Structure 1
Amino acid sequence: MVDKKEEIVSFLKKNIKESRVSHIFRVSEYARKLAKYYGLNEDKAEIAALLHDCAKGIEDNFSNSLVETEEFKILDLKNYPKLSHAAFAVILARDKFNIYDEDILNAIKFHTTSRQMASDLENIIFLADKLEPGRTYKEREKLEKAAFTSLALGTLETLNANIIYLIEENRTIHPLALESRNYLLKKLEGNI
């Protein structure tokens, strides 16, 4: 994975805007921290984090036909085009960096929305993206505490905060986020 990391970092520095690369590096560090805390594979978390936004800002370089495949219909990119970077990041991970680990690819794909029955790695990348230290919103500290209590609680609380923000901004909420939130709520209540 060390070879992959160097290749990915080189790509990021050449192709992605500097402020986004800084965010990606902070997400990567935070993902490693969460993975270590929960006894999970830190290298996988780091690779998924490095790749989660690897297509952000360069979406125009990809053919929209790529995201019309069955694999990406779940993201409903026609109605949620801002999520296209997640789909294109999966394509880059697989086709450019030869990453075929489904857990890593799913962590990249669902890093903006989460989903029902997300893996621990998926939750880690979702949380790391929302809670990395460069984020300065008022609930961050409370959400970080929840994330280090349990991945399910951290993800639920972070989804709740994000959904409230989207409602206040009068923006649409992706169905996957709502489904994930409801699933986690039932799980934490012991109903699943």
Structure 2
Amino acid sequence: MEYSREALIEAVSGQMPDKRWKHTLGVMESAVKLAQRYGADPQRAETAAILHDVAKYWPVERMREIIEQNGLSAELLKYDKQLWHAEVGAYTAEHDYGIQDTEVLDAIRYHTSGRENMSLLERIVCLADYIEPGRDFPGVEEIRRLSKVSLEEGLIAGLDSTIGLLLEKRRIVFPLTVLARNDLVRTLEDKI
């Protein structure tokens, strides 16, 4: 059974600190605005945004268990634990909250990493996570500005920011993030 919007909000908000719920509200607002601007379904964007961080504050061992026991991306376990909540969140959205819309599930699954050939909805939720009003990091205003001009330009700037930070800290970059960025650059080049 799929939950109503109100039931989803109640269930998800109770699983995270107030600060993270405030972030989620910002992602919901940003996702709806981006969907309206770029021609996606605002309701689907909002649903994905509500659930995008549902597993963010779950214990790492619980997330590992869900990934291992349900045939989810075992490759993910080789990378930063901060990525795990997206895969587990998509699984949870489907199995605990009845979400059957594969585009919504993929928007949740790839909101932290991106991937090649991202759907419009995936791009919107990923970008909304970068630009929501509560975000405050170097370069966020430029990402916000670009997001009003081009979904792809905004998302490339966001991914560049993430990749740059990881490189600066000498951290491993998740391959899907690099592939997502390169694919978006190619998309823009093809438009020229």
Q: TM-score scaled to structure 2, two decimals?
A: 0.90
CA distance in 1, matches of 2:51, 2:20: 12
Cross-structure match for 1:167: 167
On the 8 A contact 2:53/2:85 being kept in 1, the answer is yes
Cross-structure match for 2:122: 122
Aligned residue for 2:14, secondary structure, equals helix
Cross-structure match for 1:186: 186
* Offset from partner CA, 1:70-126 (integer Å, 9 cap, x none): 54246x223232211112211210111100111000000000011110001101111
- Within-5 A mapping of 1:78-157: 78-157=78-157
Aligned residue for 1:62, secondary structure, equals helix
On the 8 A contact 1:52/1:89 being kept in 2, the answer is yes
CA distance in 2, matches of 1:64, 1:142: 35
* Offset from partner CA, 1:20-39 (integer Å, 9 cap, x none): 11111111111001001112
Aligned residue for 1:130, secondary structure, equals helix
Alpha-carbon deviation of 1:61?
7.5
Question: Which amino acid is the alignment partner of residue 43 of structure 1?
Answer: Q
Give the stretch that moved more between structures: 84-93 or 52-61: 52-61
Aligned residue for 1:172, secondary structure, equals coil
Alpha-carbon deviation of 1:141?
1.5
Question: Which amino acid is the alignment partner of residue 170 of structure 1?
Answer: R
Cross-structure match for 2:73: 72
Q: 1:187 to 1:172 in 2, by over 3 A?
A: same
On the 8 A contact 1:59/1:88 being kept in 2, the answer is no
Q: Structure 1 vs Structure 2: percent identity of aligned residues?
A: 33
Question: Which amino acid is the alignment partner of residue 150 of structure 2?
Answer: S
**How many residues in Structure 1 have an aligned counterpart in Structure 2?**
190
* Offset from partner CA, 1:32-56 (integer Å, 9 cap, x none): 0100111210000000001000111
Question: Which amino acid is the alignment partner of residue 82 of structure 2?
Answer: K
Cross-structure match for 2:53: 53
CA distance in 1, matches of 2:96, 2:6: 13
Give structure 1 stretches of 5+ with no counterpart.
none
Question: Which amino acid is the alignment partner of residue 187 of structure 1?
Answer: T
Give structure 2 stretches of 5+ with no counterpart.
none
Question: Which amino acid is the alignment partner of residue 131 of structure 1?
Answer: I
CA RMSD of aligned residues (A): 2.1
Aligned residue for 1:134, secondary structure, equals coil
On the 8 A contact 1:4/1:97 being kept in 2, the answer is no
Question: Which amino acid is the alignment partner of residue 111 of structure 1?
Answer: H
On the 8 A contact 2:79/2:172 being kept in 1, the answer is no
Cross-structure match for 2:30: 30
CA distance in 1, matches of 2:138, 2:88: 31
Q: TM-score scaled to structure 1, two decimals?
A: 0.90
